[in-house]
Structures are given as C-alpha cells and as structure tokens.
Chains A and B, each alone.
Chain A
Amino acid sequence: MAAKKRILLVDDEATITRTLKLYLEGTGAYEVRAENRASTALQAAREFKPDLILLDVVMPDMDGGEVAAQLRADDALKSTPIVFLTALVKKREVRASGGDIGGYPFIAKPLEPEKVIEVIENHIA
C-alpha cells in the first residue's frame, strides 16, 4: 500500500480543521495534521514535513500570506506546495486582504470535499 500523503491544514476555525481532517483521513489516502494558529504553523510544518499545505488566508494572529512567505524562506519547506483556503470570494478581494497569494492556487470555501481532494491531487508533488 502506498504511503499516505501528509497534509498540513492551517485554519483558525477548529470546526473546519476537525471535519476536513476527518474527511481526508476517512479516505485512507491522507495523514492530516491540523493547526489552528498561524503562528505555530511554521514549527508544525518543520516537524510534520507535509507533502502539501492547506492554508487559510484570514487568521487573527497572522495573515496566511505571511505564513506562506515564512514557509518559502525555509530551505526544507520552500518547495512544499501551498494551497490557500479562503472564504473571500474573489481573487481581487483576496489580494486586497493584504495577503500576497497571487501566485498560489486557492480553494474558495465552501467547497465540496471531493473537489478539495481534486485540488490537492492536482498540486501535490
């Protein structure tokens, strides 16, 4: 059996991280670590070494864009794919929120979990 793909899920909404973790792990194909604070995401990524990071944009302690910049600055994580999760509707609004996520793919919430998997599979190494 192929090794499970490791997904780091960073979102300040605990209900989202819990249900999405349950769903993704329920498929048997993923191992998910959930983080509810942006400030601890970098440390978690260093420990967990994910294959892909799902990252919320608007979080109270730090912006998703800043987290992405920190991840990119880390040699071990700079090539890990990042997909943003956002409740903001349009790209323009996402950019206007201050997070520079222009270069990254993103998932607009709410999205059918099957489609979340599709996006993950499209971007995972």
Chain B
Amino acid sequence: MDRRAPPSRVPYVHVVPPRALAISAGALAVSFVGALVFPQSIVEYGFLVWLLPMIPAFLLCYYRGWTRLMAMLAAAMAVLSLSYLVAALLGTALPEWPFIGFVIAAYIGIALGAGWFREVRVAVDERKAAERELRQAYLDLRKSHSDLQLAHWKLIEAEKLEAVGQLAAGVAHEVKNPLMTLLTGVHYLLQHAPTADGNVKSLLDDMHEAVKRADAVITGLLDFSTPRELTLAPEDLNAVVERSAGLVKHEVTKARVTLDLDLSAELPPLALDVFKLQQVLVNVLTNAAHATPPGGTITVRTYRRAVPLTSEVPESTQPDRFEAGDEVIIMEVDDTGSGIPEDALGKLFDPFFTTKPTGKGTGLGLAVSRQIIEMHGASINIGNRPEGGARVTIAFNVLKERA
C-alpha cells in the first residue's frame, strides 16, 4: 500500500452517535406510543421511570463523546421499551419485569456496545496508523527538503566557484606579467647593484621571496578555481604513497620527524590520476610535517575494508558517496602533533583558511586537495585522534572505480 494513500475505511467514531441516536429515539417513540395505548400499565411505568431518565444520560454521553456508553444506553433503551411493550401486551403487571428487562437490556447493551466499541477501536487504530504514516511522510518530506537545500547550497557554491575561476584567470594574467618584471628586475639588481650595503642584498632576497609567494598564491587560486580533468588509469595506491613520501623527504627531515609507511600488500589497482593524487599527498604530508614537533612520527597507512553500518569515514564530507557494505580502500595519515582546534575543524577545506603563520601557507592546499579527491569519487575527512594528533582519512570506493 502506498504510505501516502488515505485510510480505506471511514472511522466509526463518526457513525456511532447517529446510529445510537436513531435507536434511542425509536425506543422512546415505541415506549411513548405504548404508554398512550396502555395507560396506567407497566409500559407507562417503564417509559416514565426508566426511559425518560435515560435521556439526560444519553445526551451527556453524546456531548462528551462517550460513544461506548451511548451505544449501551441506546441498546438498553431499545430492549427496555420492547420488553415493557410485550409485558403490557401480555397484560402482566409483574413487578419483576422492569428489573428483568433492565438486566437483559444491560447485557444486550453491553454486548452491542462492546461490538461497536471494537469497531471504534479499529477505527482509532487505523487513525493512529494513518497518523504514523503521516508523520513518516512528514519526516521524509523534511529530509527531502534538507537534501534540496543542500543541493541548492552546493549549486550556489559551484556558481560562486565558477565566478571565482573566471576572476582568477583574469587576475592571474594581470598579476603574472608584473611579477615577471619584478622577478627579472630583482635578479638584475642582485647581480649589478652596489654590494657595499649588506641590507641591499637582504632586501632584494626578501623581494625575491615575496614575488615567489605571490606567484604561489595566484597559481594556487587558479588551480583551485579552474575546472580540471583527471587522467585516470589503474594504478597502485601504495606506489603513489611511496613516491609522495620521497617528494616530502626534505620537509620531513627538516622538521626532524619520522615518516612511517604501513601499506597493505592486498590492495587492488585503483583508477587514479597519479600526479593529482601526488599533489594531494604531498600537501597532506607537508601539513603533517609542519604540525608535528621534532621527534614525532607521521604514519601513512593503507588498507581495505567494508564500510560499517555507521560509517565514521564519510561523516564530514559527501555522506552520499558510500553505502554500508561498500568495499573501500582507506589511506590514513596520522601525525603526533597537537591536533586541530575544534573551531578550525569545520573550516579546513575553505579556500584561504590556514592555521599556519602568515606567509607560510596559501590556505588553498586542502581546498584543492578536496576537489581532486572528490573528482576521484573518493572522500577526504580530517579529525583528531583520541590518542592525540590529527588524522587525515581518504577513502576510495572499490566498486565505483572507473578503471
């Protein structure tokens, strides 16, 4: 049955009162006519003593919505009126008649009332079921609404990104030309300016650094904002990890930390763009090297596993990317630094967000990394480990790979 279809039966709560009213009115009419036909008889007695007093009780039940009592009273009134009429017709004046009639009527009334009540109860159950369905439909609707809002938000983000991309391409061209002039000029001065003043050289060196930094920012922005295509081929993830580890060797040695690789030998080939993924890994490993105090350790781990029912992998990004039971390849990068402040966790992937000192990072590395990972159909998540330090988790879906 479609959850959203209306209940097939009309609830009986709306049927009982009219039915009971009709029966009790009929009983009164029969009794009244009986009293007129047989004055001073038992039927008149029953009408005056039993049936008339039942009217206020009946009306009370009607207005309070006590449908079960209404049904019982109506049944009792019907049986009483009929039994008094029969007694009058038989010419009896047995004092037991009212009592016997009342008892019989009460039993029949209870039986009938219970029957109607059951119908009422069925109706109430149906109404409750309908309410549950309605509530579920409401929850579904609310979820659809929030999904829609999320999609809308993503669309706005994508549009903003496209605008940034167009702007960045224009800015890059306009900025890179003057940077070329500055760079060439600085080099010329380094070779030809008088060197008696030591400050001149250090000033020129600073200018040289500044130009390189400006170029890194503008290149990073372009990287982030221009649409890219991946060149995917079946590759060994571990080989990419090893190559990236080689590329950051200098940074790791400079930070005086140890880089451990704990790579599973059982990984299937994944559809990867080796150079783009290397860019991500170099970025993540460099961040880890900067965050880890001397003597610390960075561990890169790869392994295969199924997504558990309550997955901790995709919680912060792309919850729709994995389903419970999917086979995933996990790559984790752990460091033994101080971890990431709580208030920074939500902003790590925002463009230009950085926790590094001014001039040390462009704030674009993780934003670009996430784009690259998402283009692989994978997810990236950053959090703090309970034992201290940060963990970057990248999960590739084995089933969805486009090898």
Contact = CB atoms under 8 A, between A and B. Distances in A.
B187 A109 contact: no
Given A26-B192, A89-B172, A20 B184 contact: yes
Given A58-B173, A87-B172, A87-B173, A22 B188 contact: yes
B134 interface: no
Contacts, number: 64
A118 interface: no
Interface string A98-125: 0000000000111111100000000000
B298 to A, nearest CB: 31
A112 B172 CA distance: 17
Nearest to B214: A110
B388 interface: no
Contact of A111 (B172, B182, B183, B222): B183
Interface in A11-25: 13, 15-16, 18-20, 22-23
A40 to B, nearest CB: 20
Interface residues of B, number: 22
A83 to B, nearest CB: 14
A114 B188 CA distance: 10
Given A15-B181, A93-B169, A109 B176 contact: yes
B251 interface: no
A105 to B, nearest CB: 17
A19 B188 contact: yes
Nearest to B184: A19
A36 to B, nearest CB: 12
B181 A19 contact: yes
A28 B31 CA distance: 134
Given A26-B188, A89-B172, 14 more contacts: A15-B178, A16-B180, A18-B181, A23-B184, A23-B188, A87-B173, A87-B177, A109-B180, A110-B179, A110-B182, A110-B215, A111-B183, A112-B187, A113-B183
